[in-house]
Amino acid sequence: MAKDVKKFDLPEVLPDHIGFIMDGNGRWAKKRFLPRKLGHVEGAKTFKKIVRYCRDIGIKCISFYAFSTENWKRPNDEVDAIMNLFRQYIDEAREHFLEETRIVFLGDKSVLADDIREKMIAIEEDTRHFDKMTLLLAVNYGGRDEIVHAAKLVSEKVRNGEMNIEDITEEKFSSYLYAGEFPDVDLLIRPSGELRISNYMIWQCAYAEFYFSDVLWPDFLPEELNKALFDYAKRSRRFGGV
């Protein structure tokens, strides 16, 4: 662990994969009479602090719900502001290659602006060999869409005679998901007081522990994450056993 990290005590058991639903940016801005997009700017700062903290404490995989398939319904200027934050972040992440974080985008990239899609694909390629931590960013992502997309890929294989129906197991099927090669979510964190999963990683959260907090995402700093980690460490995970 890096020397500057030991700001908080840590529990002995840490999750392999933490999922974050970054909720509450709009309310954070509203409380301050600021435009919603400034809430996202602040949310992006928190995102970077959390990524760094997770990397420093040795979490293997983290994922963030950054833009859902439903978020296109938001006003254009808000959507544009969020897309610009993605552009900026990808450029910044390049400057931090030394931190050895692999970056992968989950979701349908085909409808994104060409420049964003190209930046995403390039950074995925350029970070593919990093294995200190994997950062999954769900953009134009929906859990049901992910399952339907995988079902189509599997059906195609069966139609072409490359796979038998009998060979479709949970393990095999999950390898066709956007997040197919990464571990299931162990701990799902949703700040801002909402008690829902909102179509996030619905397959991968089958046995996830949920942690809800009233803190709005921009205020969900490493200290809050640490509370979630201690809460997680107390839980007994039985995966359907006794």
Nearest residue (beta carbon) to ligand FPP = 26
Strand partners, 21: 65
Q: How far is the CB of 135 from ligand FPP (least distance, A)?
A: 9
Q: CA torsion, points 37, 192, 61, 92, in degrees to nearest 10?
A: 20
Active site residue 23: yes
Instruction: Give burial (CB, 10 Å; 0-12/13-18/19+) of 63.
Output: buried
Structure tokens given for 199: 């179509």
CB of residue 13 to ligand FPP, shortest distance in Å = 27
**Contact assessment for residue 74 and residue 108, using Cβ atoms and an 8 Å cutoff:** no
The amino acid present at 227, given as its one-letter code, is K
For ligand FPP, the closer CB: 145 or 168: 145
Shortest Å, Cβ 96 to ligand FPP = 13
19 vs 24, beta carbon nearer ligand FPP: 24
When the beta carbons of 43 and 142 are compared against ligand FPP, the nearer one is 43
Catalytic residue among 9, 16, 23, 164: 23
Q: Which residues would be at the binding site for ligand FPP (CB under 6 A)? A: 22-27, 40, 43-44, 47, 64, 66, 71, 82, 85-86, 89, 137
State how far the alpha carbon of 23 is from the alpha carbons of 46, 128, 195, 220, in Å.
12, 28, 11, 10
Bridge partners of 27? none
Is 71 one of the annotated active-site residues of the chain?
yes
- Nearest approach in angstroms of CB 40 to ligand FPP is 5
- Nearer to ligand FPP by Cβ, of 29 and 229: the residue is 29
Smallest separation (angstroms) from ligand FPP to the CB of 2: 22
Catalytic residue among 16, 71, 84, 184: 71
175's CB contacts (< 8 A; 6+ apart) are 181
Which lies closer to ligand FPP via its Cβ, residue 113 or residue 151?
113
Q: Which residue has the tokens 């950054």?
A: 66
- DSSP 8-state code for residue 62: E
- CB–CB of 139/66 below 8 Å? yes
In contact, 8 and 57? CB cutoff 8 Å = no
Q: Which residues are catalytic?
A: 23, 71
